[in-house]
Amino acid sequence: MNNQQKRPLYDALTHHVKKQPISFHVPGHKYGWINQLDHSHRHDRDHFFDQLLKIDATEISGLDDLHSPEGPILEAELLLSELYHSKKSFFLVNGSTVGNLAMIMAVCTEGAHVLVQRNCHKSVLHALRLAKACPVFLDPEYNQEWKVAGGVSLETVMQAIHLYPDAKAILLTYPTYYGLTYNIQEIIDLCHLHQIPVLVDEAHGAHFIAGLLFLHQHCN
Ligand SMILES: Cc1ncc(COP(=O)(O)O)c(C=O)c1O
């Protein structure tokens, strides 16, 4: 079986449900049991919700621990890393916001200049504030076709590095909120040439890999 067909976390959760466990722990809905008590207020749509609540479990034996994974969560993160060809992958709770906070807090130190594509998400700004870093905002290009802000140009980044050679990182959003892509590779190459780490908020790009997999399967 192709590794990417495996679903370690989902399998662990469904295996757990089949044992019909009695919950003495969070979450308080007790695998949905509490939700089902009041029959007078039930709707058809609750059926779907019930199924989800059955696998809404916490870090008990066999279900691993997100903060120090050794079992199915670790296995699933390794599969994710294999899929994206990354050195490491971590699951997030609370959305891309937490990813941005972690990424920026890990790299940007107090008082450091950080080059920031101006049309970034507000979580990037919050993270910079928490890290007490000094953002240098980079103007995005205006996309004439869609009449919205796009990515930053190589020239803008070149100029910024010239003005702020001490920059500790560059923060890009790829694709942009509107899904626009740009030549990010040439920017990465330039920044790496200057030993500047490139941090990318890819909140809207997680599915790009699916397109590549599709092409790979159908064009070979
Ligand atoms: C580019 C970008 N980054 C990060 C986020 C934050 O995502 P979440 O709401 O999942 O934390 C968003 C949300 O719209 C976004 O557009």
pLDDT more than 70, % of the chain: 98
What pLDDT band is residue 168 in, cutting at 50, 70 and 90? very high
Token pair listed for 194: 């200057």
Compute the average pLDDT of residues 186-200.
98
Please state, in angstroms and rounded to a whole number, the distance separating the CA atoms of residues 11 and 28.
22
Token pair listed for 95: 């959305």
Q: Give distance in angstroms: CA of 70 to centre of ligand 1.
A: 29
Please state, in angstroms and rounded to a whole number, the distance separating the CA atoms of residues 19 and 73.
20
For the segment 22-74, what is each residue's pLDDT rounded down to a tens digit? Answer: 999 999 999 998 877 777 777 766 788 889 999 999 999 999 999 999 999 99
What pLDDT band is residue 211 in, cutting at 50, 70 and 90? confident
Please, what is the end-to-end C-alpha distance for the chain in angstroms? 19
Give residue 45's pLDDT: 65
The alpha carbon dihedral of 192, 184, 100, 98 has a sign of: negative
List domains and CATH numbers for the chain.
3-84 (no CATH), 95-208 (3.40.640.10)
For the segment 130-148, what is each residue's pLDDT rounded down to a tens digit? Answer: 999 999 999 999 999 999 9
- Any bridge partners for residue 135, and if so which? 114
- pTM value? 0.89
For the segment 77-113, what is each residue's pLDDT rounded down to a tens digit? Answer: 999 999 999 999 999 998 999 999 999 999 999 999 9
| Cβ burial, residue 112 (10 Å; 0-12/13-18/19+) | middle
pLDDT more than 90, % of the chain: 81
Given the CA of residue 176, which atom of ligand 1 is nearest to it? 1
Give residue 19's pLDDT: 95
pLDDT, averaged across the chain: 93
Which residues approach ligand 1 with their CB closer than 6 A?
95-97, 100, 121, 123, 173, 177, 201, 203-204
Count of beta carbons in the 10 Å neighbourhood of residue 191 = 20
